[in-house]
Amino acid sequence: MSKKVIGIVAAIVMLAIVVPGITAQTILLEEDFEETTWPPSVPGLGSWTTGFSSGVDNWNYNTYWGREDQTQTPSGTDQCADNDDDANYPPSYQNVENYLASPAFDGTGFNDITFEYDMCYRSISSSHQVRIEVWDGDSWVVIASYNSSEGYTSSSSHGVHHFWHINDFANPEMQVRYVYTEGYQSWAWYFEIDNVTITGTGGGGPSEEVDLEMVQILRPFDEETGGEAFKPACRIFNNYEGEQPSYLEATLEAVVRCRIKDMTTLQTVYEDVLQYVPLEYGYNEINGFKFFTPESNKNYEILFVVEHEDDVNEQNNDKTMRFNTAAGVTVDATDILAPAGDDQQGPFSPSAAFTADDEADATGVTLHCKIEDAVFNAIVFEEEKGPVDITAGDSYNETFTEVSDLIDGSAYTITFWATINKSSAGEEISKTFNYIEAVAENPIIEAFGLKVAGSGVTFSLGSSTDVSLKVYDVAGNVVAALASGSWTAGSHSVNIEGLESGVYFVKLVTPFYTDAAKVMIIK
């Protein structure tokens, strides 16, 4: 939308009214919030006004965060009206309403009055609410409201352009206003308005042309619950009141379509068509579609389309929205079956039990196993199995591929968990174990070993050999070298010195033997 300084030119208005055959359009109010003095003033109409129920008045100018790609990237130069106070948020500022109201304008004598604006709205809970209101001559009438439970959160309302028809409220002293309600103390919110334009179209009677507009998606919300069915719903505006000269209100019968696409597979997973939908003049809420049950942890896109053979403008007949689903069920890794104890003798096949919650069956579950070196946290084994289905409340055992290439005498951490559609579905389970190779029939060396007591380290060698004895911190960094080079057979003792209090790992490496032990230094 282009930025313009507001001004209603009398000659243009008169031309629009007196020339037959012209669809007259008159700008009743236009505001780009590029002024330097707050609140802004509209030439010929007066100033915008603000108000608040308690606390402080947060309205002022700011750099507009709205972008067409709905990202949180500030525009840099575009200025807007902003209701935001991160720095001076008083603890008592709760249950507060802040509003920004336009000056009054004359809305009489027009077939249609359109109200357009750009909006950014970040809310972290349903206690935050934005209302858009119109003064009908007697009271403020809410034409739209937004909060997180209605599908508007920080991820879905950046740089959104809104368009409303407000001719039902026409009077000589019309106003529009934006109201922000804060339900409880928090700083993580803002509400920004820019590019307000109110236009009157035509005059002398109802419209003779049909222009149906898909104006709002009512359901789904931006987040639905996986496994729980809902009915898609939308709102359509019908501008047609009837043919001249009778001006009798007319009901149009339109076709309304709804389609939902899985954004992972890009396949259509839902489609429904409503034939002969009666649309009265004004706003119509359409909620007669069949139910849709989304899967857990999914991203979807929904499309609504309204169709009528006499519609003169098909550019405003559709609206899309993306939404996601949270996990409707959980699957916890509940028991490690193999390795069974703290020591694992030789090769083994990791195995664990997974349990679904009692609420619903878990479908499409992927089961995971991972083994990491306990000292260096390096992943030495990782595998997934599935997808599988687990009945509600039941346990499911899974066995993974045999593991045989671990280092004798080393410590490892094994972890099991489950996912649904690549997202975590429940609690994981893990434990640390020592891996010990099976005893050979003719063992060559029996006397290698590593022991740690306090800050003293004792290691035994069955034969003369090269030795590397180092201390590592929990992040895997070498913090001390206790022994290196060639050492003779027998028992040897060294001390750990110069380290701060904390948990460390001592690792002995020889060509014949490797071992690691945990040590806690307390000073």
CB-side neighbour CA atoms (13 Å) of 354? 30
**Residue-number span of the structural domain to which 280 is assigned:** 223-326
* Chain position carrying tokens 């804060």: 182
- For the chain, the domain total comes to 4
Range of weakest confidence among 142-146, 316-320, 428-432: 142-146
Most confident of 86-100, 176-190, 287-301: 287-301
Range of weakest confidence among 8-17, 39-48, 90-99: 8-17
Please give the helix or strand (H or E) that residue 182 lies within, else none: strand 175-182
Separation CA 29–CA 175 (nearest Å): 10
Query: Per-residue pLDDT for 242 more than 80?
Result: no
Per the CB < 8 A criterion, the answer to whether 63 and 80 are in contact is yes
Torsion of CA 48, 52, 57, 62, to 10 degrees: -50
Question: Are residues 319 and 362 part of one domain?
Answer: no
Per the DSSP assignment, residues forming a β-bridge with 435 are 344
Question: Are residues 392 and 504 part of one domain?
Answer: no
Per the DSSP assignment, residues forming a β-bridge with 372 are 379, 413
Query: Per-residue pLDDT for 244 more than 50?
Result: no
In a domain, 443, yes or no: no
Question: Are residues 132 and 54 part of one domain?
Answer: yes
Q: How far is CA 45 from CA 5, 14, 109, 175, 345, in A?
A: 13, 18, 18, 11, 87
Most confident of 123-132, 246-255, 301-310: 301-310
| CATH number of the CATH domain containing 247 | 2.60.40.10
In a domain, 471, yes or no: yes
Query: Per-residue pLDDT for 10 more than 80?
Result: no
In a domain, 68, yes or no: yes
pLDDT computed for residue 518 by the predictor: 86
Residue 290 vs residue 405, higher pLDDT: 290
Band (pLDDT 50/70/90 cuts) for residue 84 is low
Band (pLDDT 50/70/90 cuts) for residue 71 is very low
pLDDT computed for residue 6 by the predictor: 28
pLDDT computed for residue 435 by the predictor: 92
Query: Per-residue pLDDT for 441 more than 90?
Result: no
At position 425, the amino acid (one-letter code) is: A
Separation CA 193–CA 146 (nearest Å): 14
Question: Are residues 408 and 391 part of one domain?
Answer: yes
Question: Are residues 132 and 52 part of one domain?
Answer: yes
Provide the sign of the torsion angle of the four alpha carbons 75, 165, 306, 322, taken in this order: positive
Question: Are residues 345 and 322 part of one domain?
Answer: no
For the segment 31-44, the average pLDDT, to the nearest whole number, is: 90
Torsion of CA 166, 169, 175, 178, to 10 degrees: -60
Query: Per-residue pLDDT for 56 more than 80?
Result: no
Q: What is the pLDDT of residues 500-511, one digit of tens each?
A: 888 888 898 888
pLDDT averaged over every residue in the chain: 79
Q: What is the pLDDT of residues 92-139, one digit of tens each?
A: 445 567 889 999 999 888 878 999 988 877 654 445 678 899 999 999
pLDDT computed for residue 55 by the predictor: 57
Question: Are residues 173 and 79 part of one domain?
Answer: yes
Per the CB < 8 A criterion, the answer to whether 73 and 66 are in contact is no
Question: Are residues 176 and 88 part of one domain?
Answer: yes
Question: Are residues 511 and 457 part of one domain?
Answer: yes
> Before 278, cis peptide (omega within 30)?
no
Model-level pTM greater than 0.75?
Answer: no
Separation CA 148–CA 261 (nearest Å): 23
Range of weakest confidence among 25-39, 110-124, 460-474: 110-124
pLDDT computed for residue 79 by the predictor: 85
Q: Is residue 348 classed as helix, strand or coil in its secondary structure?
A: strand
> Per-residue DSSP letters for 48-84?
-EEEESSS---EEEEE----TT--S---SS-EEEEE-
| CATH number of the CATH domain containing 72 | 2.60.120.200
pLDDT computed for residue 291 by the predictor: 96
In a domain, 351, yes or no: yes
Question: Are residues 158 and 116 part of one domain?
Answer: yes
| CATH number of the CATH domain containing 465 | 2.60.40.3080
Q: What is the pLDDT of residues 328-343, one digit of tens each?
A: 678 899 999 999 888 8
Band (pLDDT 50/70/90 cuts) for residue 250 is low
pLDDT computed for residue 423 by the predictor: 66
Band (pLDDT 50/70/90 cuts) for residue 380 is very high
Question: Are residues 401 and 386 part of one domain?
Answer: yes
pLDDT computed for residue 442 by the predictor: 43
Query: 386, 406, 436: which is the final residue of a domain?
Result: 436
Which DSSP symbol is given to 392? T
Torsion of CA 74, 80, 83, 86, to 10 degrees: 30
- Percentage of the chain exceeding pLDDT 70: 78
Which DSSP symbol is given to 395? E
CB burial of 249-259 (b: ≥16 within 10 Å; e: otherwise) equals: ebebebebbbb
Residue 339 vs residue 490, higher pLDDT: 339
Separation CA 458–CA 235 (nearest Å): 78
Query: Per-residue pLDDT for 421 more than 60?
Result: yes
Query: 310, 326, 342: which is the final residue of a domain?
Result: 326
pLDDT computed for residue 488 by the predictor: 86
Question: Are residues 396 and 341 part of one domain?
Answer: yes
Separation CA 502–CA 499 (nearest Å): 8
For the segment 511-515, the average pLDDT, to the nearest whole number, is: 83
> Per-residue DSSP letters for 154-175?
TTT-SSEEEEEE-GGG--TTBE
Residue 48 vs residue 75, higher pLDDT: 48
Per the CB < 8 A criterion, the answer to whether 146 and 152 are in contact is yes
At position 324, the amino acid (one-letter code) is: N
pLDDT computed for residue 179 by the predictor: 87
Q: Is residue 379 classed as helix, strand or coil in its secondary structure?
A: strand
> Per-residue DSSP letters for 258-311?
EEEEETTTTEEEEEEEEEEEEE-SEEEEE--SPPB-PPTT-EEEEEEEEE-TTB
